[in-house]
Structure 1
Amino acid sequence: MISVLDKDRVFLDYGPIEMMLMATSPDKNMTAQMQEAAKEAMTWLSQLSQVLDQAKDVRTLSYPRPHELPLPLRRMVEAVLATGDRSLTPMAAVAGTFSDLVADRLVEDGAHKVIINNGGDIAIRLFGSERTKVGITPSIGAKRFTHVIKLSSSSGVGGVATSGRGGRSFTKGIASSATVLAQSARVADSCATLIANHCFTPDPHILQLPAEELDPQTDIPGHYVTVKVGELSPEVKSKALENALAKANDLFSQGIIQGAVVFLDEFVGMIPNDLCYPVIKKEEVKNGNGNS
């Protein structure tokens, strides 16, 4: 359930949570604090399970007394409201919210560098001269990353999240992956869902079905979600990617996100244009093709 992997790494496997905790401090070992934070995540999950119907209900975004909601659900609602979209339910921010809660707990305990990876939704807390790199994969489930983002304490990024085809949740789009940077993991999570949903344009080779036909317990009944994508023309892919980047640019211009990169098979686009850089393979460097 809670496994200590190293002095600065702890793994939590509990119900739907598969979370890697990493925390360091210049003046103390954070192993015990990470174990306690993992235990608290289990408590927060129990709290959320008691109000799961509310978490799956889009009407909870308009709940008149949000301060009465359990902490996890309150943070989820705040994150979805930040997107400005009212088609998402609080569940769009659930994984990122748990990453944030654990990360903030460890900062309170004295950590100077925290990285919490909850199934790909990552909370990042950097202080002082701390830095880190985040690898970006071209599709959900890809084993290797193709691009890298460099972050420091001055980056203003507190979370990185990815959505798209093949993820744990349904998507309305056809993006191979949509990765978003934001001030928190929960906002990145909800915005990644939103941007991935917008990576779409109608085409007979895209099969969509009502979400409730696939999962009677879904939080988005009545919404059509992508089931299968066949052979698409470059024009269709380009239009779908354009729609996703338009939504990303809207969120970016409002200051809701710090950036986004969207992959659709061989197509890729990002906001802003210098958000990340491609990984240079050794053989490319040897052949003189490593400049980019």
Structure 2
Amino acid sequence: MSAQRTALDGGRWHLNHGPIDLIAEAHGDAVEVAVAHEHVWRRFGAVLEELVAELPLLRQPVGADCALRGPIARRMWEACAPFRQSFITPMAAVAGAVAQELIACYHRPGIERAWINNGGDIALHLAPGQSARVGLFADLARFDLRDLGPLSTDGRFELRAEHPVRGVATSGWRGRSFSLGIADSVTVLAATAAQADAAATVIANAVDADDAGIRRRPASECKDDSDLGDIPVTVDVALLAPAVVQCALDAGVERAEALQRLGLVWSAVLVCQGQWRVVQPLSSGLPAAPPQSAGSIAADAVGSVFA
């Protein structure tokens, strides 16, 4: 199947090609926005073929040297390289890296702000003085396609152009990708979408516990071409004791704060079975909001929303 695009309300575009499914939105000079959208469409048409061409390497664990050639593939590797002491493949950053590649089309005069939402992994463009509100939807289990009313978010925050954040990503065991942990969602704000994607994966894996209520299966049994092979991934989590959830979240926060000290994460929100933790920015500016506070882009199937 070839790449497809569909115009949506509000000047947004839905682009789809195989497993890649994203929404593009931009604001600013109408002519410049239209030109940028066309550039995105042209670039999008080649993305899947480029990734498939290097898929065998992309499914291999990240090593000391990068043998990948394409710009998106190399960006995936670079985002995951800081975590190579543990098992990780470049595929952990694929959605964010694709979004990051496409957002570059909006880096042009006349574009005030834009975002690419690739299944909840979001790349941003914000011209000086601009901002975007991000709404957090923490638990995919609550999402009901039959509900046609406004989406009720769990938390909101605003990203401004002066913040060092151009990527938002969410990971968790309920999302579209596999997780080794039990977090309903881990949403990460980082300098780039690829970095946010990789870090969200790693932090969500760290939100974990050893409990009979957690069911896991080898990734290869859940998806025969998974890059995780026979590594057990979480497929179901029963209602756990609050103390177990607390310990799991504490482990995730410890990992997030370690990445923050390395400059790989700016802020993060971790959610598991009604409990949540916020890793605040080390610098002042963005009050990472707990559930039931104030925003609007959306990340991940478990994740975020924009306006």
The two structures have a TM-score, normalised by structure 2, of 0.85
2:265 equivalent in structure 1: 257
Runs of 4+ aligned residues of structure 1 deviating over 4 Å after TM superposition are: none
Structure 2 unmatched ranges of 5 or more:
144-151, 282-286, 295-307
1:245 equivalent in structure 2: 253
1:87 equivalent in structure 2: 87
* 1:229-271 deviation line (CA, Å, top 9, x unaligned): 1231111111111111111111112111111101001100010
> 1:27 Cα deviation (Å)?
6.9
1:285 equivalent in structure 2: none
8 Å contact from structure 2 (residues 29, 110) kept in 1 = no
My pick for the range that moved more, 69-78 or 101-110, is 101-110
8 Å contact from structure 1 (residues 8, 30) kept in 2 = no
2:305 equivalent in structure 1: none
2:24 equivalent in structure 1: 21
2:205 equivalent in structure 1: 197
Residues paired across the two proteins, number: 278
Identity of aligned residues (%): 31
8 Å contact from structure 1 (residues 82, 187) kept in 2 = no
- RMSD between aligned residues: 2.0
Q: Secondary structure at the match of 1:18?
A: strand
C-alpha separation in 1, matches of 2:290 and 2:102: 29
2:36 equivalent in structure 1: 33
Change in CA separation of 1:208 and 1:229 when aligned onto 2, cut-off 3 Å: same
8 Å contact from structure 1 (residues 210, 225) kept in 2 = yes
Q: Choose from 275, 286, 291 the match for 2:288.
A: 275
> 1:41 Cα deviation (Å)?
1.7
C-alpha separation in 2, matches of 1:64 and 1:198: 26
Q: Secondary structure at the match of 2:107?
A: helix
The answer as to 2:135 corresponding to 1:135 is yes
8 Å contact from structure 1 (residues 5, 11) kept in 2 = yes
Q: Choose from 45, 50, 54 the match for 1:51.
A: 54
Q: Secondary structure at the match of 1:154?
A: coil
2:98 equivalent in structure 1: 98
> 1:29 Cα deviation (Å)?
4.1
C-alpha separation in 1, matches of 2:164 and 2:188: 13
RCO comparison, higher one (Cα < 8 Å, 6+): 2
Q: Secondary structure at the match of 1:261?
A: strand
Change in CA separation of 1:193 and 1:152 when aligned onto 2, cut-off 3 Å: same
8 Å contact from structure 1 (residues 207, 229) kept in 2 = yes
8 Å contact from structure 1 (residues 140, 164) kept in 2 = no
> 1:93 Cα deviation (Å)?
0.2
Which structure's CA Rg is the greater one? 1
My pick for the range that moved more, 144-153 or 78-87, is 78-87
My pick for the range that moved more, 169-178 or 110-119, is 110-119
> 1:24 Cα deviation (Å)?
2.2
Change in CA separation of 1:180 and 1:280 when aligned onto 2, cut-off 3 Å: closer
> 1:64 Cα deviation (Å)?
5.0
C-alpha separation in 1, matches of 2:276 and 2:180: 18
The two structures have a TM-score, normalised by structure 1, of 0.89
Letter in 1 for 2:100: D
Structure 1 unmatched ranges of 5 or more:
282-292
8 Å contact from structure 2 (residues 66, 74) kept in 1 = no
